[in-house]
Amino acid sequence: MSAATRNIQRIGVVALQGGVAEHVRVLHDLGVDTVLVKRPTHLNGLTGLVLPGGESSTIDRLLRIFGLVEPLQQAIRDGLPVLATCAGMITLAAEIEDPAPGQQTLNLLDITVRRNAFGSQVESEEAVVATADGPVAAAFIRAPIVTRVGEGVEVIAEHRGQVVGVRSGLVTAVAFHPELAGDPTLHRRLLG
């Protein structure tokens, strides 16, 4: 894909809660047009999507309030490329080991996750994580881990002996925040 083609891509960033501005900044630095996704109509014409980190149970509630659950599920099933970070990974998972009361997922990625597996906010850390796409500077903030990987899901990153990155088709999900470290590696991958 040429640089000119990349510049006309439209990447949506689900903008209900969490690290939206940081993802937008990384995408803008790559010359990509971004759309803040707050309603189903904002999904029209996108060439990719970012599900940012934040608080996974809050994101779940807001997706339902704003009527985004079924449109997101359909767009992703129809082949929209996705990068999900931290709470975004939890949002895509088939199962959460320790959900908040009433918490649901989009059930689009055949994995099981454990929320806050790397500890509380004060136990946050920065690290360079070896991924299938190369080293990625990352921040781990109340990060989940993947405790089960289903058929058709590839492990693309581990940290401290735990699975922290997976890919299935056009969906990449990581437990960390590359956008907070300003690392565009995974965002470039989203662009194809």
> Annotated catalytic sites, by residue?
86, 177, 179
The gap between the terminal CA atoms of the chain, to the nearest Å, is 7
d(CA 145, CA 79): 25
d(CA 82, CA 85): 10
User: Residue 170 burial (CB < 10 Å; 0-12/13-18/19+)?
Assistant: middle
Asked if 126 and 91 touch (Cβ cutoff 8 Å), the reply is no
